[in-house]
Amino acid sequence: MKRTLIIAALFIAAQSMFAQSSGYQKLDEWLEIWKDSHKTLLGYPINEQSELHDFYKWYVETGMDQINLNNAGDPMTDNPWNISTQAFEKDVIDFFTPYYGFDKDNVWGIVTHSGTDGNNHGIYFGANYLTNKTQLEPIVYVSDEAHYSNMRLAHLQGLDVKLVKSDPMGRMIPEELEKELDVTRPAIIVYAMGSTFRGAVDDIPALNAILAKHPEIPGVYRHVDAALFGGYLPFTELRDMVSQKLMDYESIAVSGHKFFGIDSPCGLFLCTREVYDNQADFSVTYLNGNMRMINCSRDAVQPLKFWWLIQKVGAEGWTKQAKQLLDCTYYLKARLDAIGWPAWLNECSNTVFFKRPSKEIVTRYNLAQGYDDNFGGELAHIVVMQHVTKEEIDHFIKDLEEEDD
Ligand SMILES: Cc1ncc(COP(=O)(O)O)c(C=O)c1O
């Protein structure tokens, strides 16, 4: 009996070992390294507590993994076709519509491939909208602290760009925007809602006030790049900051793989209906529709994952997570202050930047690095995501203290 039990235990152990091996050495080795390093990933805006395990189980068990899906087409206007998940994509946009302060009858949106894809749509839709309305070529205004994708995309789209100076904390300076404005041409302004390194939020009301001082500008389009902060802000008391109605913007892009915890890149793009209605027509007969979005084939699995998380985590879960994430951010800043380690934090931000520690600590905690003479030169930052707990912060602080001794 005892022998049988031992053999059974060995069999189960061998099976689980086998289950963990892909049969490919390179893949298995990579997995081991990744398992080790992701535990201490503090420097990047990745939510390491993805809640998609049940989704994958359902996906494989139902044979969905053997079906090729594609969301080519417009989820807001098409009759969904049977190899798409556009009906779920539309549900996702409907769910988020009030969280970004859009009216139900004045919104259009898609699940994008990434935050960058959302910015691409923002800049492209802005350029089409303004050219359609004014027959003039717009200029893109973006701060020198904003994510590089915005400059890259404006360049790609052949648009003139003016970089507007930001203050030391990374916020676009309203007076500098005014200095840069060319009032003879329409303006696309990209507002940073959480810049990548410093977590700076552009003061949208103050910048809008500058634009309002110049009614002679032939047309204005405001796109909000809210890749990370657009995830948690709607679930906090600071939600007004991302409200289309209150902040008076035309479009917004948010990443799905940052705060929301989708396990590979995707995002949200929402704009007003007026913007959508002023896009160039691309009537594509074989798709039986008017293709306003940039991509033809679009991922059909990411909208399903988004939809799944809305059911599973939803507003209640995201509200709890947003609170925990900001509490831990303030905790990290307070702990750094307490040990006298120079550190800075923007309002509403989950990104603390500080004097760069040794290379060893930077590597151990996967810290992202920056440089700024205004803050003494070499810097690093921590982005406090869902998996960054107070316990983890205490370990980090202890390592800093030991280094300082
Ligand atoms: C402010 C900001 N905008 C855009 C992006 C690009 O987003 P994605 O990586 O989803 O393309 C990032 C990425 O970190 C970001 O921080």
Q: Is the pLDDT of residue 314 over 90?
A: yes
Q: Say if 24-50+314-404 and 65-312 have the same CATH topology.
A: no
Ligand 1 geometric centre to CA of 61 (Å): 34
Q: Measured in angstroms, how far is the CA atom of residue 151 from the centroid of ligand 1?
A: 12
Closest CA to 335 of 405, 403, 404, 398: 398
Q: Which CATH number fits domain 65-312: 3.40.1160.10, 3.40.640.10, 3.90.850.10, 3.40.50.2300?
A: 3.40.640.10
Query: What percent of the chain shows pLDDT beyond 90?
Result: 83
Is a pLDDT exceeding 50 seen at residue 11? no
Give the ligand 1 atom nearest the CA of 114. Answer: 10
Is residue 229 within 8 A of residue 348, CB to CB? The reply is yes
Query: Any idea where the domains of the chain sit in the sequence?
Result: 24-50+314-404, 65-312
Q: Residue 6 above 50 pLDDT?
A: no
CA gap 246, 297 in Å, rounded: 34
Q: What pLDDT shows up at residue 7?
A: 45
Please say if the pLDDT value at position 151 is more than 80. Answer: yes
* 1, pLDDT greater than 60: no
- 373-383 pLDDT tens trace: 999 999 999 99
Q: What is the pTM of this model?
A: 0.93
Q: What is the mean pLDDT of residues 316-338?
A: 98
Residue 40 pLDDT level (bands cut at 50, 70, 90): confident
Q: Which fold has domain 24-50+314-404?
A: Aspartate Aminotransferase, domain 1 (3.90.1150)
Q: Which of 149, 153, 349 to mutate to test the pocket of ligand 1 (most atoms within 8 A of CB)?
A: 149
pLDDT at 181: 98
Q: What is the band of 139 on the pLDDT scale with cuts at 50, 70, 90?
A: very high
Span from the CA of 89 to the centroid of ligand 1 (angstroms): 21
pLDDT of residue 36: 75
What does the pLDDT look like over 354-375, one tens digit per residue?
999 999 999 999 999 999 999 9
For tokens 């799905």, what's the residue? 256
Q: Which tens digit of pLDDT belongs to each residue from 95-126?
A: 999 999 999 999 999 999 999 999 999 999 99
Asked whether residue 14 carries a pLDDT value surpassing 60, the answer given is no
- Is the pLDDT at 144 greater than 60, yes or no? yes
Instruction: Output the six-digit token pair for 62.
Output: 């139902």
Centre of ligand 1 from the C-alpha of residue 402, in Å:
34
The preferred substitution site among 44, 112, 119, 147 for testing ligand 1, maximizing ligand atoms within 8 Å of CB, is 147
Distance 334 CA to ligand 1 centre (A): 27
- pLDDT, tens digit, 9 for 90 and up, residues 329-346: 999 999 999 999 999 999
List pocket residues of ligand 1, CB cut-off 6 Å. 45, 114-116, 147, 149, 192, 194-196, 225, 227-228, 255, 265, 267
Handedness of CA 244, 247, 251, 254 (dihedral sign): negative
Model confidence over 285-312: pLDDT tens digits?
A: 666 566 788 999 999 999 999 999 999 9
**Residues 250, 122: Cα–Cα separation, whole Å:** 8
pLDDT at site 34:
82
What phi and psi values does residue 109 have, to the nearest 5 degrees? -165, 165
- For ligand 1, what atom is nearest to the CA of residue 257? 10
Which atom in ligand 1 lies closest to the alpha carbon of residue 192? 1
202-216 residue pLDDT tens: 999 999 999 999 999
pLDDT at 5 over 50: no
Residue 129 alpha carbon to ligand 1 centre in Å: 24
| Amino acid 78: pLDDT | 66
